[in-house]
Amino acid sequence: MFKTVKSIFSGFRMVFLPRIHLKGLIGVDELKETSRAVKDIAKDTFTITEAKRQETFVEATHRLKLTPQTVAMRHRRFVQLAYSFLGMALLCFAYAIYLAFQGEVFAFLLGLAVTGLGLMYAFRYHFFAFQIKHRKLGCSLKEWWNGEVEKADTRTVKKTDE
């Protein structure tokens, strides 16, 4: 009796198991590629890269051939962009709260993600404007948070009268 049950299961394996491709059914190769991509993105995100060149604000404006009027215009545009993204983030947050009260949990989470993206861009452009305002490249997050530059490099704030 044992041999017949064993032969039945071996026959089942020979007939059905070769036709079922479990690796393809589960998507093992795609899972490996996705996890490798997530790992690479996380590595690139959390790795601090060194600046290609060390230069002051004045040196950068000379290298890029920027006039004081152009610098002032860019500062104004960066501030406008920062406030625009902040406004967009606040609207998205208000809509996300509305969705939460409607019981739409996934839409609420998506709204929070879009809010975070808007806040990230608002910070980015405000930080650019902060560096232009204080005429210093490479400001720290602490300097931005306090709103003032600590011990600015003398070469960055020195103005030449020409």
Q: Under a CB-based contact definition with an 8 Å cutoff, are residues 155 and 56 in contact?
A: yes
CA 148 vs CA 10, 16, 25, 122, 135: distances in Å: 77, 72, 58, 19, 11
Q: Who wins on pLDDT, 144 or 89?
A: 89
Q: What is the CA radius of gyration of the chain?
A: 29
> CB-based contacts of 86: which residues, under 8 Å, 6+ apart?
118, 119, 122
**Residue 122 confidence (pLDDT) above 80:** yes
pTM for the model stands at 0.62
How much is the mean pLDDT over the chain? 81
Q: Which residue has the higher pLDDT, 50 or 35?
A: 35
Which of 53, 56, 66 lies closest to 139, judged by CA? 56
Distance separating alpha carbons of residues 162 and 157, to the nearest angstrom: 15
What band does 17 get if pLDDT is binned at 50, 70 and 90? low
Supply the DSSP symbol for 92: H
124/143 Cα distance (integer angstroms): 14
Residues 59-83 as b/e (b if ≥16 CB within 10 A, e otherwise) read eebeeeeeeeeebeeebeebbebbe
pLDDT at 86: 97
In 3D space, the residue among 35, 38, 58, 16 whose CA is nearest the CA of residue 155 turns out to be: 58
Instruction: Read off the amino acid at residue 57.
Output: F
Distances (CA, A) of 30 to 10, 21, 24, 92, 156: 31, 14, 9, 33, 51
**Residue 64 confidence (pLDDT):** 85
Q: Which pLDDT band holds residue 36 (cuts at 50, 70, 90)?
A: very high
Structure confidence at residue 57 (pLDDT): 80
Task: Of 50, 46, 70, give the one whose Cα is nearest residue 60.
Answer: 70
